């Protein structure tokens, strides 16, 4: 950009790039664009914007990923955050979207991404899964929910029930929910060893609750979501597990149905918009 | 201290509209939700950050719906980017209009700034080069916004850390012309006046003399961090004496425009924030100000336009349940 001939769009593009990539600013242009401040030169004036840009957004990422920040340690998390913000600057009017691409960015930028899966660093897998879980919680916190509408009591027929639209079904390679809530409790958990974790996360009365699931139950809920129908999901589960349909239906009815309704996994079909 | 003496201020120079004289308000912050719902404090009005509620399907929106039943509400945005050369985000404007209607917002404000370009958002209030070209550009966008919102837009003077070599219009003159051309109204942030003028080495008195006070419907107060060579608008502490003096002048000249305290960094308990804005009464009535309440010492680097207060504490509302 030549400061002498710059149009308004030119100047805005130049300044935006100066915030995202501070090293790219050339001194002659800078002095031709900005006056010096009362007590500091033009570069120092711009530096206030550059410094604040990264500090404020880094702080927001720490707020959105507190457990990941704990797991990485503050210095390393800030290094990750700074690089993420440089390569994935915010593209939304809302800060709530700032961390949307964070877990995927870690995955895409891991240094061992070209190695076979079983030769990769496990701690990076843990960070990706933990960040994914935190993002899901953050999104669910303010997503459209079922508050203010009637919840089922358990007296309904199965075909009157559908999954809560915002219910999160998650699968992780590490016990990320356990780790997250240890951090929440003020403890200092170490990085856990790998362990498959299946989760349902529901929000009811604005409280977000995470429920560990067996692989069998996870598959069932996943099938309910796919089919939009409990009966069809029970049939699929019976076929997949090789168990008689009557056994699967009994297990659903006697072991989990009421508990999951009370937890808010299901809502009346006719209350979903 | 003798609070009954030196009553020097009489009636405001102009009488603002009764609809605009909301009194002394507080910026609505996530960390105060529980206190407000429990105590229903005697606050004149609240200002809510538009972007925090326009997409909310969770507790924040529910809280706002409770608050709107008991207090006057004003919406204050940080992402309209009225000065950007990117196209206006019509989806954003439509959501803003819906929110403003839903909560019966007394008015909708944002800043004379741009926040991003090329589809990106800096989440900062970036400075505009103040030229005739910029005035025409912003005026056209203000008209569009007002058509969508079906109400006047209220624009705030931002804090600035740079001045452009090619700017040809002063900020008060720019705002006056913009208001004249579009009918938009103004939010005068007296702390921002102080910060901008100090950083630029320009006269606060000249700024205030040129400012079109008759267009002002609202004022902002805030604390800042003085770094010796420059001031950063940190919104993380009490209001300094010099800014209170500007407020006193502005209160008279605006006819008592609605006044709000912003406290966004290291946000203390609600009562501490409320007490700070109530200190304005002394400057309005011309009596000895109540001493400033103790405030936690500031930590860390001065950051302009703090935004982390807008991020909710999701961890606090999460639990793990064993089945």
Position B298 confidence tier, pLDDT thresholds 50, 70, 90: low
Query: Residue A215: pLDDT above 90?
Result: yes
Q: How confident is residue B15, by pLDDT bands cut at 50, 70 and 90?
A: low
Contact B123 A59 (CB under 8 A): no
Write the burial class of residue A68 (CB in 10 Å: 0-12 exposed, 13-18 middle, 19+ buried): buried
Q: CA of B53 to nearest chain A CA: how many angstroms apart?
A: 9
- pLDDT tens per residue, range A15-45: 999 999 998 788 888 999 999 999 999 999 9
Inter-chain CB proximity B232 and A46 less than 8 Å: no
Of A228-237, B108-117, B193-202, B286-295, which range is least confident?
Answer: B286-295
Cβ of B313 within 8 Å of Cβ of A142? The answer is no
Q: Do A96 and B323 count as a contact with CB atoms less than 8 A apart?
A: no
Residue B178's closest CA among B225, B130, B234, B232?
A: B130
User: What average pLDDT does range A209-218 have in this prediction?
Assistant: 96
Question: Tens digit of pLDDT for each residue in B213-225?
Answer: 999 999 999 999 9
> CA separation (Å) from B313 to A17, A67, B310?
31, 12, 9
Expressed in angstroms, the distance from the first to the final Cα of chain B is: 62
Comparing alpha-carbon positions, the chain B residue that sits nearest to A40 is: B229
CB atoms near residue A261 (< 10 Å): 18
pLDDT over 90 (residue B202): yes
Please answer yes or no on whether B51 and A49 come within 8 Å at the CB atom. no
Write down the pLDDT at residue B10. Answer: 40
Measured distance CA(B54)–CA(B91) in Å, rounded: 11
Q: Picking from B78-92, B121-135, B291-305, which range would have the lowest pLDDT averaged per residue?
A: B291-305
Dihedral angle of Cα B45, B75, B83, A82, to the nearest 10 degrees = 100
Strand partners, B48: B75
pLDDT above 50 (res B127)? yes
How many other CB atoms sit within 10 Å of the CB of residue B244? 18
Cβ distance A212 to B323 less than 8 Å, yes or no, reads: yes
Summarize pLDDT for A113-130 with one digit per residue, the tens.
Answer: 999 999 999 999 999 999
Length of chain B: 323
CA–CA distance, B79 with B70 (Å, rounded to integer): 27
> How far off is chain B from A165, nearest CA to CA, in Å?
13
Question: What is the band of B138 on the pLDDT scale with cuts at 50, 70, 90?
Answer: very high
Interface touch A37/B200, C-beta < 8 Å: yes
Residues 6+ away with beta carbon under 8 Å from B100: B75, B108, B149, B151
pLDDT of residue B131: 96
Cα–Cα distance for residue pair B128/B135, rounded to 1 Å: 10
Nearest to B58 by CA among B320, B264, B317: B317
pLDDT mean over B84-99: 98
Which residues from chain A sit within 8 angstroms of residue B56, using beta carbons? 142
Q: pLDDT at residue A265 above 70?
A: yes
User: Which of B59, B118, B161 comes nearest A48 by C-beta?
Assistant: B161
pLDDT band at B305 (very low <50, low <70, confident <90, very high): confident
| Mean pLDDT, residues B304-315 | 82
pLDDT at B8 over 50: no
Strand A161-163 and strand A266-268: the pairing is: antiparallel
Rounding to the nearest 10 degrees, give the CA dihedral for residues B275, B280, B281, B283. 140
Distance from CA of A246 to the nearest CA of B (A): 23
In this predicted structure, the answer to whether residue B57 has a pLDDT above a threshold of 70 is yes
- In terms of DSSP bridges, do strands A168-172 and A197-204 run parallel, antiparallel, or are they unpaired? antiparallel
pLDDT of residue B310: 80
More confident residue, A271 or A207: A207
Closest CB to A95: pick one of B161, B310, B314: B310
Longest dimension (CA), chain A: 82
Mean local confidence (pLDDT), B138-143:
98
Report the candidate in B41, B150, B43, B155 with the shortest Cα–Cα distance to residue B100. B150
Angle formed by the axes of helices A122-142 and A42-64, nearest 10°? 90
Least confident piece of the model among A32-36, A154-158, B304-308: B304-308
Task: Write down the mean pLDDT value for chain A.
Answer: 95
* C-alpha neighbours within 13 Å on the C-beta side of residue A259: 13
pLDDT digits (tens, 9 = 90+) for A131-142: 999 999 999 999
pLDDT higher than threshold 90 for residue B312? no
What is the number of residues in chain A? 273
Average pLDDT score over residue span B79-100: 98
Q: CA B115, B121, B124, B128: dihedral to nearest 10 degrees?
A: -20
Q: Is the pTM of this model over 0.95?
A: no
Second CATH level (architecture) for the domain B24-310:
Alpha-Beta Barrel (3.20)
Give A7's pLDDT tier (boundaries 50, 70, 90): confident
- For residues B279-283, give the mean pLDDT: 94
List Cβ neighbours of B173 (8 Å cut-off, separation of 6 or more).
B210
pLDDT in tens, B151-176: 999 999 999 999 999 999 999 999 99
β-strand partners of A83? none
Structural contact between residues A35 and B163, judged by C-beta atoms closer than 8 angstroms = yes
pLDDT of residue B199: 97
**What are φ and ψ of residue A94, in 5° steps?**
-110, 140
Q: Least CA distance to B228: which residue of chain A?
A: A39
**pLDDT of the residue at A29:** 86
pLDDT of the residue at B12 = 56
Q: Is the pLDDT of residue A172 over 60?
A: yes
Over residues B70-88, mean pLDDT: 98
- The residues pairing with B76 across neighbouring beta strands, listed in sequence order, are B49, B109
User: With 90 as the cut, is the pLDDT of residue B286 above it?
Assistant: no
Alpha-carbon gap, residue A208 to A266, rounded angstroms:
15
Please report the pLDDT score of residue B2 as a whole number.
37
Sorting pLDDT into bands at 50, 70 and 90, what band is B300?
low
Write down the pLDDT at residue B301.
Answer: 74
| More reliable by pLDDT, B201 or B290 | B201
pLDDT confidence band for B3 (50 / 70 / 90): very low
CA atoms within 13 A on the CB side of B102: 17
Q: How confident is the model at residue B5 (pLDDT cuts 50, 70, 90)?
A: very low
Mean pLDDT of B234-255: 95
Q: List helix spans (H) across B111-257.
A: 132-149, 171-182, 190-200, 204-210, 241-254
Residue of B nearest to A34 (CA): B164
Position B4 pLDDT exceeds 60: no
What confidence score (pLDDT) does residue B294 get? 64
Q: A29-61 b/e with 16+ CB inside 10 Å = b? A: bbebbbbbbeebebebbbbbbbbbbbbbbbbbb
When the pLDDT of each residue in chain B is averaged and rounded to a whole number, the result is: 92
Check residue B302 and give its pLDDT: 78
**Residue A210, min C-alpha distance to chain B (Å):** 5
Interacting residues of B182 by C-beta distance below 8 A, sequence separation 6+: B139, B142, B143, B146, B153
Best probe of the A interface among B91, B314, B317, by most A CBs < 10 A, is: B314
Q: A247-251, B174-178, B316-320: which has the minimum mean pLDDT?
A: B316-320
* Calpha distance A255→A233 (Å, rounded): 16
| Shortest alpha-carbon distance between residue A139 and chain B (Å) | 9
Q: What are phi and psi of A111, to 5 degrees?
A: -70, -20
> CA-to-CA distance for A168 and A152, rounded, in angstroms?
19
């Amino acid at each position: 950009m030549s400061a002498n001939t710059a149009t308004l769009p030119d100047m805005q593009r130049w300044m935006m790039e100066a915030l995202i990539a501070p090293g790219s600013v050339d001194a002659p242009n800078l002095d031709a664009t900005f006056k010096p401040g009362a007590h500091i030169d033009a570069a120092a004036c711009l530096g206030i914007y550059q410094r604040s840009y990264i500090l404020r957004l880094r702080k927001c990422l720490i707020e959105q990923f507190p457990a990941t920040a704990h797991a990485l340690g503050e210095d390393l998390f800030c290094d990750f955050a700074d690089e993420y913000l440089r390569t994935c600057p915010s593209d939304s009017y809302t800060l709530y979207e700032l961390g949307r691409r964070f877990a995927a960015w870690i995955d895409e930028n891991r240094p061992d991404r070209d190695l076979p899966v079983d030769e990769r660093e496990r701690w990076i897998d843990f960070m990706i899964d933990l960040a994914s879980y935190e993002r899901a919680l953050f999104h669910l916190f303010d997503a459209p929910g079922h508050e203010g509408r009637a919840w089922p009591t358990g007296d309904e027929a199965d075909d009157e029930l559908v999954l809560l639209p915002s219910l999160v079904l998650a699968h992780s390679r590490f016990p990320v929910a356990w780790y997250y809530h240890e951090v929440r409790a003020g403890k200092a958990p170490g990085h856990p060893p790998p362990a498959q974790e299946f989760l349902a996360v529901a929000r009811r009365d604005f409280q977000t609750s995470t429920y560990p699931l067996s692989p069998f139950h996870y598959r069932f809920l996943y099938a309910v979501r796919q089919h939009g129908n409990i009966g069809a999901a029970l049939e699929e589960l019976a076929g997949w597990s090789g168990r008689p349909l009557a056994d699967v239906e009994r297990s659903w009815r006697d072991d989990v149905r009421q508990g999951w309704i009370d937890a808010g996994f299901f809502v009346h079909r006719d209350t979903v918009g | 201290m003798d609070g009954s003496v030196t009553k020097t201020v009489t009636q405001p120079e102009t009488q603002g509209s009764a609809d605009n004289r909301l009194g002394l308000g507080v910026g609505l912050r996530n960390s105060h939700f529980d206190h407000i719902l429990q105590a229903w404090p005697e606050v004149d009005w609240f200002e809510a950050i538009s972007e925090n509620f326009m997409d909310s399907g969770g507790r924040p929106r529910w809280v706002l719906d409770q608050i709107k039943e008991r207090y006057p509400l004003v919406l204050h945005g940080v992402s309209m980017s009225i000065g950007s050369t990117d196209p206006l985000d019509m989806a954003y404007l439509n959501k803003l209009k819906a929110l403003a209607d839903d909560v019966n917002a007394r008015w909708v404000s944002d800043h004379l700034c741009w926040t991003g370009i090329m589809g990106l958002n800096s989440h900062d209030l970036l400075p505009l080069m103040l030229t005739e070209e910029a005035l025409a550009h912003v005026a056209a966008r203000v008209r569009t916004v007002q058509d969508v919102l079906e109400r006047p837009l209220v624009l705030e003077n931002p804090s600035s850390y740079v001045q452009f070599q090619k700017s040809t219009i002063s900020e008060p003159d720019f705002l006056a012309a913009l208001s004249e051309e579009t009918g938009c109204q103004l939010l005068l942030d007296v702390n921002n006046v102080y910060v901008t003028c100090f950083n630029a080495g320009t006269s606060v008195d000249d700024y205030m003399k040129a400012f079109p006070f008759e267009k002002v419907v609202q004022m902002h107060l805030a604390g800042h961090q003085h770094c010796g060579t420059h001031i950063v608008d940190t919104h993380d502490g009490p209001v300094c004496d010099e800014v209170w003096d500007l407020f006193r002048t502005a209160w008279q000249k605006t006819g008592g425009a609605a006044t709000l305290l912003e406290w966004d960094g290291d946000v203390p308990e609600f009562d501490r924030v409320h007490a700070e804005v109530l200190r304005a009464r002394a400057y309005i009535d011309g009596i000895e100000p109540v001493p400033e309440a103790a405030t936690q010492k500031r930590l860390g680097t001065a950051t302009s336009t703090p935004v982390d207060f807008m991020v909710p504490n999701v961890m606090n509302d999460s639990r793990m349940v064993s089945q």
